[in-house]
Amino acid sequence: QAEALDELLMAFGGKINIVPSIYVTQDELVARLLKRAEIEGRADDNEETIRNRMRVYHEQTAPLLDFYKQRKLLVEINGEQSIDQVQSDLIKEIHKSVS
């Protein structure tokens, strides 16, 4: 899919400059989603479902991240910082990629 996207963009004179990935440890993700379940009352935010979602993510998304990492387009942002810091880091990386 990533290769097809690259070909499509090239056909229209475009390209991908950056692929941001906001990373958070699995334990932190579980904690955040379980807290969300308490606040929002989401029945699907239980630990088993969350861990299954993470398994699927690693099976399906990790190879895509590797694809972009090999092309030096992947930029990892620490998602365990404050929201403002994550946003700031993301904006900095975007600006670097277009300058």
Task: Return the ∠ at Cα 79 (arms to 77 and 85), rounded to 5°.
Answer: 80
Q: What is the pLDDT of residues 18-57, one digit of tens each?
A: 999 999 998 998 888 888 877 877 777 788 888 898 899 8
pLDDT at position 75: 96
Q: What is the pLDDT of residues 47-60, one digit of tens each?
A: 888 889 889 988 98
Query: Tell me, what amino acid is at 73?
Result: L
29: helix, strand or coil: helix
What global pTM score does this model have? 0.74
Q: Are 97 and 20 in contact (CB under 8 A)?
A: no
Q: Are 37 and 47 in contact (CB under 8 A)?
A: no
Q: Which fold has domain 2-98?
A: Rossmann fold (3.40.50)
Question: E strands, the chain, where?
Answer: 19-23, 74-78
38: helix, strand or coil: helix
Gap between the Cα atoms of 39 and 3, Å rounded: 40
Q: Above 90 in pLDDT, residue 69?
A: yes
Instruction: Calculate the average pLDDT of the chain.
Output: 89
